[in-house]
Chain A
């Protein structure tokens, strides 16, 4: 059983929690590859997906996971809602809970928003990304995908490349990888690496080639233009020349490395098309594993509600 009632961040989970999610996801992966991809486990559960920020992959993945578990699902997005009329977050959620909702899956642009909600309402909260803070299910599916490809996460060297400063994926991945015994490095321009990130126990590198020569896995992050209030690098073209991964660079290494990307990909910026579509890339595996791991997380959280 999970040690927490909510899934707010990887920081709150134990290694045992992560391994329980993985072993449960293994069985759900088999389920989603059956002719009939549905189990009745959550048929008495209602889940609200509350997205105050844009999302394609995560929202679809959660919705599919919920439906594969036979839960009743309602979707809410802030655009075109009463939030625009001045309703507070707590009032919005309490109104949704009045409809007898058991689990809230929430994405919000403010770091800590799901933690705030968890302190004020009884329903189980699952954080689907809170600003630049955490994105726990992305880290779970990323580490699950590494485990699937390499057999284990323990002892592997993983470099996270790109916009570390604005990335909730990076922070959750750092926590998850460290809990599972991996070594972590971050790589990017000085302006996109948080000043004291080494205090999290990660290495810092500003030379992509050196980082790739060190690692077993490279997780290439998207440049988050929507969160950048100032210009952190001269141009996208210059960024891609220094920190973009292309086939030539990949083939010049004297070893095979696994290439990951949380999506959506800016082809030609952080990763070129020939790399995104090559055998080393597990980007589509990550998407498939996203459904299985989210099914596992929802199943285990629902099981705590008896």
Chain B
């Protein structure tokens, strides 16, 4: 069966085309979808596109920012208001991949990819999804947990609060090839501080489980404390709690467990 490409003006039509056909796949930037087609993935026989401008819109007017699913990393890097997301955007692929790859596609990118999603997880983002029956907003954690079942749904946008200070959000990607390459580990931390103490810490890890996950033990170790050596050490010591990494060509599960605490310590103490 030849591959059919269906282009829709509205996201609603695209969403119903996706949900009604199991062999349909939405085309974001295509960095993964086109690779799959070229390498002979015959599970895809319909490619769905949507031209709705809303998908590539960035809304930064309030303290809450909204990024359309079709926004590319290159576009994020060109947007000064999104400086706190520049580090994660820059850590993805080379210029060619950043020019095409989208925020929406990154939510579905399997290990060792999905770096931007790690940042979004630490920022407690909300994912707007349009299913066959209508649109709804999901917390990103819930979205990721049900990702396999989301394949028929269209992601419209992601949104999150802007971190209060530049220091409150930190990101670090460990890769073997710089500047591009799959991740050995990706770490992001959101550390809001009120009267000198961390309140509502969120730490997210990539490539440490089948899905991007939160380092809850490390979050607990920081909660209510000042970000001093003792707190950092306590968080680093429990960084590997609850992780379930796998071996791949970039690193073994053993290695990932060994180094996650080291890199978390560096991230938290602001070391390069």
Answer whether A and B are interacting partners.
Answer: no
